[in-house]
Structure 1
Amino acid sequence: MNTTNAQAIKPTIVLVHGAFAESSSWNGVLTQLNEKGYSTVAVANPLRSVKSDADYVASILKSIEGPTVLVGHSYGGAVITNAVNGNENVKALVYVAAFAPDTGETAVELSGRYPGSTLGPALAPPVATPDGGKDLYIQQDKFHAQFAADVPAAAAQLMASTQRPITEAALNEASGTPAWQSIPSWFIYGDRDLNIPAAALSFMAERANSRETVVVSDASHVVMVSHPDVVAGLIEHAATAEWNS
């Protein structure tokens, strides 16, 4: 592949949100990327299971022509890790406060491997689903402090009201062969993340041989909402990199 020719065309940026969020969590980042001429797609992640969510994202990727940069937030990182499926158009992965699991690892195990996550006590009682599963939400009165502490209270309340649930099973589902073993990756996260401890995020970035890791001081789990300029900047670094170098 000729990286010079590849960079002549801006890649499409595909963004995958995580649990307790939805596509609008990328709005600040999307605004900046769109202004710079990037084509963007913010996927509505089903949040049902790692495999089915990854398969859904993979189907979207197959519909996009040309190079693609795949971005995941939180649980969305596990999804992008499994969604590439040999798609040669995916040139870079960007993990935004996100899981980058290895084969057999789960979100629950990774977030608990290091101290600091307070997500468990912040969850509401599970909601039973018709298929016998359980949907998880964050209690609305704890959402601001737990999930988005550096976001204005009014904006955090809107996020709490519009949060989308994830199945309990998805957070305990083993990941497959990781795309970060063969595709270059970039990482960004806040040092005050209460969902995934910063130590866990640092471990995953180092293990994936991150091309560039940005740690945002005092940032919460939704660093893309509170610091969209920094997140968009890192995505652009990934989008303009010589991917095969």
Structure 2
Amino acid sequence: MTTNDTPTVVLVHGAFADASSFARVIPELLADGLKVVAPAVPNRSLLGDSAYIASMVRQIPGPVVLVGHSYGGAVITVAGAEENVKALVYLAGYALEEGESLGELQGRFPASELASALVYTPFPLEGADGRGTDGRGTDGQGTDVSVEVDRFPAIFAADVDPALARVLAVSQRPLAAAAFGEAAPVAAWRSKPSWGLVSAADRTINPEVERFGYQRAGMTTVEVDSSHLVMLAHPEQVADLIRAAVRSVTN
């Protein structure tokens, strides 16, 4: 039976995906008797997304282990500053430094295959009438970033079941381009124990970006020969890393 002392594992998905990307990990954690929450991240801005996840975390009684995949790593870097977050787990993710943006961290290293497969699509900003620039975009518009559908399986999910990869390709949750330029106001890994998983065969994020961020943070790090969607390709290894973080909270 769970109690308020039992950690809640909060799973934060990344760009071009949604919470279903944790579908093979969640049963593993539930079988351990853990409480699990897998929210839908708006993917509109780093600061806004982090504030949203932080607001959810504050309402959870007891300790939280915050897990972030890909862009979700940047989100937990900020949201993880909440008092009841006791451990962080990065899955093929961005571990930003305070004052650093996604674009700055990514720009330190050669681009991955993803860079040539991105699609940019305008969308209307809430509260903008489209008749003039309102300071948030051109003529009241923002820009969504997604991945070319035909290239998504190979770049994002090369070792995931091909039929599932095709579904994921057409059901992407885009990331607003504004998120790439926003600086992290805090780096929670500076004060919270952290674990990192490098997807060594990643074609979405250069694995060197992952390694650099984790090493800079002094994380306990493992490497898995996996595509970017390591949670679907290697759920047992992902669950094991989360369990290690959970044990650090409960021991």
Name the TM-score, length of structure 2 as normaliser: 0.89
**Paired letter, 2:65:** V
* Distance in 2, Cα, partners of 1:56 & 1:177: 15
**Equivalent residue of 1:25, what SS?**
helix
Q: How does 1:33-52 map to 2 (within 5 A)?
A: 33-52=29-48
Note the alpha carbon deviations across 1:191-221, whole angstroms, 9 max, x for none. 11112211111111111111x211002x111
**Equivalent residue of 2:47, what SS?**
helix
Note the alpha carbon deviations across 1:170-191, whole angstroms, 9 max, x for none. 1221111100000010001211
Aligned residue in 1 for 2:236: 229
Aligned residue in 2 for 1:136: 145
Note the alpha carbon deviations across 1:93-124, whole angstroms, 9 max, x for none. 00000001012222123223222512111112
**Equivalent residue of 2:10, what SS?**
strand
* Distance in 2, Cα, partners of 1:185 & 1:243: 15
Q: Size of the alignment, in residue pairs?
A: 234
Cα drift, residue 154 of structure 1: 0.6
**Paired letter, 1:226:** A
What is the aligned counterpart of 1:123 among 106, 111, 118? 118
Aligned residue in 1 for 2:28: 32
* Distance in 2, Cα, partners of 1:202 & 1:226: 20
Residue ranges of structure 2 left out of the alignment (5+ in a row) = 126-140
Structure 2 contact 87–249 (Cα < 8 Å) conserved: no
Aligned residue in 2 for 1:74: 70
Aligned residue in 2 for 1:63: 59
Q: How does 1:153-172 map to 2 (within 5 A)?
A: 153-172=162-181
Question: Are 1:114 and 2:122 matched, yes or no?
Answer: no
Residue ranges of structure 1 left out of the alignment (5+ in a row) = 1-6
Cα drift, residue 135 of structure 1: 0.3
**Paired letter, 2:157:** A
Aligned residue in 2 for 1:3: none
What is the aligned counterpart of 2:89 among 94, 110, 126? 94
**Equivalent residue of 2:90, what SS?**
strand
Note the alpha carbon deviations across 1:44-67, whole angstroms, 9 max, x for none. 000000111001001100110001
* Distance in 2, Cα, partners of 1:114 & 1:128: 28
* Distance in 2, Cα, partners of 1:148 & 1:105: 28
**Rg bigger for which structure?**
2
**Equivalent residue of 1:133, what SS?**
strand
What is the aligned counterpart of 2:158 among 126, 132, 149? 149
**Paired letter, 1:101:** L
* Distance in 2, Cα, partners of 1:172 & 1:108: 6
Cα drift, residue 89 of structure 1: 1.2
Instruction: Flag as ranges the 4+ runs of structure 1 deviating above 2 A.
Output: 7-10
Aligned residue in 1 for 2:6: 10
Aligned residue in 2 for 1:182: 191
Name the TM-score, length of structure 1 as normaliser: 0.91
Structure 2 contact 90–195 (Cα < 8 Å) conserved: yes
**Paired letter, 1:230:** Q
- CA shift in 2, pair 1:145/1:112, >3 Å: farther
* Distance in 1, Cα, partners of 2:107 & 2:153: 21
* Distance in 2, Cα, partners of 1:11 & 1:22: 23
Aligned residue in 2 for 1:213: 221
